[in-house]
């Protein structure tokens, strides 16, 4: 992600990013299966801004996570349109912010395998 991209996102995207968090939080809160999967470490946050599977999940859970990721992509598409960046950059910027706020004990991936958060996550090389 370029410095210009980060600057554009930081300058113009705070409200949209908050809306993106609201979309994901609302979808998780209304689906106990996704909430439980996140709490148990089956599902985790990825640096690309989407949820993924740290452990095997049922077909029903996979469908629910996919539906949530579709909602996230819509929020990232809106953010990208409003800030003039790519959807991928908007998603990653939001993913980096999400990982920075992730609670201990939650599963996450920086793109090279799954880990469980226990303290700070080293994001500087990935998130700039």
Token pair of 43, please? 């599902």
Lowest mean pLDDT, pick from 26-30, 99-103, 124-128: 26-30
Q: Residue 123 has what pLDDT?
A: 84
70 lies in which domain range? 3-127
- Rounded distance, CA 44 to CA 106, Å? 7
**pTM higher than the cut 0.75:** yes
Question: What is the torsion angle, in degrees rounded to the nearest 10, for the CA atoms of residue 35, residue 122, residue 120 and residue 94?
Answer: -40
Domain count for the chain, please give it.
1
What is the DSSP pairing of strand 43-46 with strand 107-109? parallel
- Rounded distance, CA 34 to CA 120, Å? 24
List, for residues 55-85, the tens digit of each pLDDT value: 999 999 999 999 999 999 999 999 999 999 9
User: How big is the CA angle at 89 (ends 85 and 95), to the nearest 5 degrees?
Assistant: 140
């Amino acid at each position: 992600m370029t410095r210009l991209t980060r600057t554009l996102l930081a300058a113009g995207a705070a409200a949209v990013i908050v809306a993106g968090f609201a979309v994901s939080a609302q979808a998780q809160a209304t689906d106990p299966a996704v909430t439980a999967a996140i709490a148990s470490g089956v599902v985790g946050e990825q640096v690309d801004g989407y949820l993924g599977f740290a452990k095997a999940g049922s077909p029903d859970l996979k469908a629910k996570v996919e539906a949530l990721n579709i909602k996230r992509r819509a929020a990232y598409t809106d953010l990208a349109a409003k800030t003039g960046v790519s959807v991928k950059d908007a998603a990653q910027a939001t993913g980096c912010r999400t990982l920075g706020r992730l609670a201990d004990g939650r599963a996450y991936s920086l793109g090279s395998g799954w880990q469980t958060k226990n303290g700070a996550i080293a994001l500087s090389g990935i998130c700039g």
